[in-house]
Amino acid sequence: MLTRRSALAFSLAALVAPAMAQAHKIPVVASFSIIGDLVRQVGGDRVAVTTIVGPDGDAHVYQPSPADGRNIAHARLIFVNGLGFEGWLDRLVTAAKSKGEVFTLGKGVSARKDEEGQDPHAWQDVANAKVYVEAIREALTAVDPEGAKTYRANADAYLAKLDALDAEIQQAIAAIPQDRRRVVSTHDAFGYFAARYGVEFIAPQGVSTEADVSARDIAKIIDAVRAHKVRAVFIENIADPRLAKRIASETGAQMGGVLYSDALSDAKGDGATYIEMMRHNVRQLAKALAP
């Protein structure tokens, strides 16, 4: 039977142990939710990941908070996408006087380019997500050599899941007739997906949601939807749905549901992890475009 003193000691130990375990984890910051998930998959219990732009957040137009600066200041590693995606990040790192090392994961991929410059949405191609994972593994191993075996095992297991995901997406898209693989999305976030898997995306906004959409832009999209008999118009989880709904209304194209472009969903949503996000998007596409 526990005495009052021993019960108190037991309660204190129960409170202190998790805090001590957390204190021994490597403090890591990820710029947005998708990268945060990839880091957690590789780092496992050895890392404490803080994500700056959370679920359903738009990293293109994010405004950092003082709390973000404090997290950056205490991080040993800062994982970012790069390719022009987080335009606010360099200023945040400088202002926070961070001594953590910044790893730009997008450097490892072959970036798409258009008249706006680089397309930052490389994760929409699972092959690029694998490049990110390998870079995360190497970065974590460099700062925590004792965890090398864990990081390698976690990465290998996750890379196998990504291989299966890539094959699954290709199979699902292959089942859709070629002449039906054309949709409208809110902004040009799916270029890598289009190049990899063979679905054409038409978008009124460019690769960044910062760009304003003019009446002429909307008219061009509406003309294109009618000319190419586009089957579906999709809303993005980070975007105002009114533009997509207007295009669908004026063209007669069906609304195809929500696609996750630049952010995961919250824990209760259909895209709480990278793999769940990609599977959800493919299911939505297949449902809307099926004969």
Which residues, 6+ apart, have CB-to-CB distance to 253 below 8 Å?
184, 225, 230, 231, 232, 233, 247
Say yes or no to pLDDT of 19 above 80: no
- Spatial separation of the C-alpha atoms in residues 99 and 210, rounded to whole Å: 30
Look at residue 217 and give its three-state secondary structure: helix
**Bridge partner list, 28:** 49, 77
The pLDDT, as a whole number, for residue 169 is 98
- 16 pLDDT band (50/70/90 cuts)? very low
Residue 185 vs residue 9, higher pLDDT = 185
CB neighbour burial string for 75-108, b if at least 16 within 10 angstroms, e if fewer: bbbbbbbbbbbbebbeebbeebebebebbbbbeb
Q: How many Å separate Cα 77 from the centre of its chain? A: 18
Mean pLDDT value of segment 11-17: 51
Of 136, 200, 207, 135, nearest in space to 173 by CA: 200
pTM equals: 0.87
Whether the Cβ atoms of residue 79 and residue 103 lie closer than 8 Å to each other: yes
**Most confident range, picked from 113-127, 151-165, 243-257:** 151-165
Of 113, 65, 41, nearest in space to 274 by CA: 41
Residue for token digits 């908070």?
65
Whether the Cβ atoms of residue 34 and residue 264 lie closer than 8 Å to each other: yes
- Spatial separation of the C-alpha atoms in residues 200 and 264, rounded to whole Å: 22
The pLDDT, as a whole number, for residue 11 is 57
Say yes or no to pLDDT of 75 above 90: yes
Please tell me the chain's helix, strand, coil percentages from 3-state DSSP, rounded to the nearest 5: 55, 15, 30
